[in-house]
Amino acid sequence: MLKGEGMIESVVRNLKTKEILSNSDLAELRQYISEKYSDYSQEQHAIALASAIKTVIDNNLAQFNEGYRKTIREAVLKKTTYKSVFSIDAEELFTSCLILKKADNEFIFSLTSWLNDVQDIKVSTYTVGDFIEKTMSFSEDIIQYNLEAVICKINEAANAILNYEEKTRGKFYAAYKDKIIENALKIMRELGIYIKGAIELLGGVRLKGIKLNSRLLISISLSIACIVLFSFYSRGTAAASSQMLQNEAAFKEMLSTDYMLNQYLNRDSNVTEYLYDIEEELNIELRYKSVDAELLKVWLEGKDSILSESPYFEAIIDTAKEFDIDPLFMFAITGQEQSFVPRSNKYAKKIANNPFNVYGSWRDYNTDIFDSAAIAARTIINLGKKRPFYRDPIEWINRKYAEDKEWWVKVRIIFNSLQNAARLD
């Protein structure tokens, strides 16, 4: 059975297969409006088309109130303006819901109902609410454009915490096993008078000649303690029952895993090291991988990029290989920094000397592509080090590479596009 983020991950896969509006649907709507309202002006046709799109989206959000429907619709339509081909699927409606950062009961109930209606995996309001809470710290762009990365980070955090707890519990048990048993026996001795009374009340039972291990002894003692508590309570012995309750509560608290974990945390000031594991070197995602050079050149040509030419193309590819960096990542940076340097720019050849904007910009530092690529590569390697596991590798580089805090989101979107276009299998 799927649980938590594993369930949400499967739900998201299902949502991606649910088409709300395709480019062909849009063409059909446009044709229908054009034929039905042939006497309309071009502006009136546009208004009618927008109204039809609104109706289609709203009909697919019937589980939400009017206010939420409007906000979700506006968010998803805003995203379509950045697409080369118009389309809307259920996953995009879902991400548009998440970026609202709503966690009230009405919204969670509506979203849960919508998810259960639009795809086959049934989810609970608890699962949906929990996932919403976990996405609160992520930016709108990363949620909308790379939800898989969000889920991956949430999964990594959950696994890290589980591993940390296992380490901590194991360490605590090894270090304090004898103390636990000693305290347990001490409490049992304190309860001895009541245990003895309970045995006598139950008919003079004797445990002579029976060898018990500590775990079984603890279990029997707790059971007897409960019986004693009930016996004394029913006989009206309030003072005895009060003392019994206090002892039993202390015993249970001492044996509680959470209590043990708490005690250990209070003793170990370095315990957070387990939770915040550090990756010393550049993440493997950004390490060198082969690319289809011809497909990459074709893709760059589609952007009218001078970087598809010699010596720029070879310089970036060779430098990436030398420094063990994915060349597509280096090209992605040039895409964000200088839109891949279109030939139409009158300064194209100068910009191409430093398309990474190292040392400020191509205006401030202008040597040649081999020099700027090497500087960019060394910068990537250095900034990629000592990354906490929960931080995106590109986001970690962003903290010093660019002032724009959303730089990494845009670079990742470009990086993903390049991988789809030119990655060798």
Q: At what angle do helices 147-190 and 192-201 cross, to 10 degrees?
A: 80
φ/ψ (deg, to 5) at 20: -95, -50
Q: What is the pLDDT of residue 114?
A: 94
Q: How many helices and strands (H and E) does the chain possess?
A: 21, 4
pLDDT tens for 333-360 read 999 999 999 999 999 999 999 999 999 8
Residue 267: exposure state from Cβ atoms within 10 A (0-12, 13-18, ≥19)? exposed
- Domain edges within the chain: 4-145, 158-274, 284-422
389 pLDDT band (50/70/90 cuts)?
low
Q: What is the pLDDT of residue 181?
A: 52
The class (CATH top level) of 284-422 is: mainly alpha
- 311 cis-preceded (ω within 30 degrees of 0): yes
pLDDT tens for 57-70 read 999 999 998 889 99
How many other CB atoms are found less than 10 A from the CB of residue 328? 24
Of all helices (H) and strands (E), which one includes residue 103? none
Tell me the residue type at 290: S
How many other CB atoms are found less than 10 A from the CB of residue 364? 10
| Dist. CA 400–CA 386, nearest whole Å | 13
Q: What is the pLDDT of residue 226?
A: 53
Side-chain-facing half-sphere of 283: CA atoms under 13 Å = 17
| Dist. CA 305–CA 280, nearest whole Å | 35
Region of poorest pLDDT, from 304-308, 341-345, 418-422:
418-422
Q: What is the pLDDT of residue 248?
A: 43
Pairing mode, strands 88-89 and 19-21? antiparallel
Chain mean pLDDT for the chain: 77
Alpha carbon dihedral 195, 200, 203, 204, in 10-degree steps, equals 100
Who's near 51: CB < 8 A, 6+ residues apart?
none
Q: What is the pLDDT of residue 266?
A: 44
Full DSSP string of 208-247: TT----HHHHHHHHHHHHHHHHHHHHHTT-HHHHHHHHHH
Residue 337 corresponds to which tokens in the numbers above? 């920094």
Residues 343 and 306: beta-carbon distance below 8 Å: yes
